[in-house]
Amino acid sequence: MSRKVLVLNGPNLGRLGSREPDVYGSTSYAGLVKACEELGAELGFDVEVRETNDEGELVRWLHEAADARTPIVINPGAFTHYSYALRDAAAQRTAPLIEVHISNPYAREAFRHTSVIAAVASGTVAGFGINSYRLALRALSELPE
């Protein structure tokens, strides 16, 4: 039986492949979903990838994961830097939560240097393109259930 993992994506991540490819790469959102599902299956995970531009929906998904003790890989997008509602929902986690970023926030604009999510995450992976998700899934596979 495989272990469920949610891969949650915040605003603008559905535009991967067309949105600033010099920053976010050329892999499409569909390519990201496929990469996460394929590696997840190799690691014994049932990976479900979701994307929303709605802060409230992300909060609801974090509550759902907390209630079910489901591990999370999350790229909060711009919500990373200011969403205390998302931070408070992430703090309720009952399983590992790994924050991911495709780009390296510290190599970008100053406002991106702060994450309100990082302090309540199990860890953060950033700056490795789509591989940030793969590294996060591999890290989850090494953590106790």
**Residues classed as catalytic:** 24, 101
Is 112 labelled a binding residue?
A: yes
Give the ranges where 25-127 is alpha helix by DSSP (H).
29-42, 55-68, 84-90
Is 53 labelled a binding residue?
A: no
Is 88 labelled a binding residue?
A: yes
Is 103 labelled a binding residue?
A: yes
Is 63 labelled a binding residue?
A: no
**Residue 57, C-beta contacts closer than 8 angstroms, at least 6 positions apart:** none
Binding site, annotated residues: 75, 81, 88, 102-103, 112
Binding site, annotated residues for substrate: 75, 81, 88, 102-103, 112
